[in-house]
Amino acid sequence: MSHPKTEQMKEEARRTGEEAREEIDQAVEATKEKGRQLAGEAKQEASKIAEQQQQNVAHHMESIADALNKTATNLDEDQAWVASGARQTAQALDNMSKSLRENDFNTIVGDIERYTREQPTLVLGGAAIAGFFLSRFLKSSDNRGSADTRQAAPLAGTENDRAGAQNDVFIPTSDISRRP
């Protein structure tokens, strides 16, 4: 037979253990709830950022499509087949831009995956054409920057250097009447 004081102590220890378990379970549940709340807030913030970036991408796609259409117009006479490809790519970019503006991120990803599986050649061809035009654009931008540097170079130096180099300076046609 056990002693009554021992039984009382056992009972008290059991109750204390149950209370501690209940407090731990409550703390765990509160922590889980706080984690769910923080995850929801993070998901909302990430969604806002993704939406902003989605709109930025749509704007850039429209800009690229405009540039492709302008380039196609310039290539119509010399390279009609490239101009046609540029127009088709610009149209596709316009369509994707509109889709980006009108749909949520998950819908867009699904559409892109489906389209790429259905039309891999067109997607790769469009990427190649876009790369071609981007390289031409960057090359022409670089050439303009180099030409500006070459034109400005003769103006540097001594007064005699500038006077001797005056005939080498590029003067736009609108400035011909002001030429000394």
| Mutual angle of helices 80-102 and 4-75, in 10-degree steps | 150
Residues 77-136 pLDDT 10s = 888 888 888 899 899 889 888 988 888 877 877 888 898 899 899 888 888 888 888 888
CA angle 102, 103, 109 (to 5 degrees): 140
- If one counts every other C-beta atom within 10 angstroms of the C-beta of residue 169, the result is 13
pTM score: 0.45
Q: Where are the domains of the chain?
A: 8-156
Q: What digits encode the pLDDT tens for the residues 36-61?
A: 999 999 988 888 888 888 889 889 98
Most confident region among 114-123, 130-139, 151-160, 163-172 by mean pLDDT: 114-123
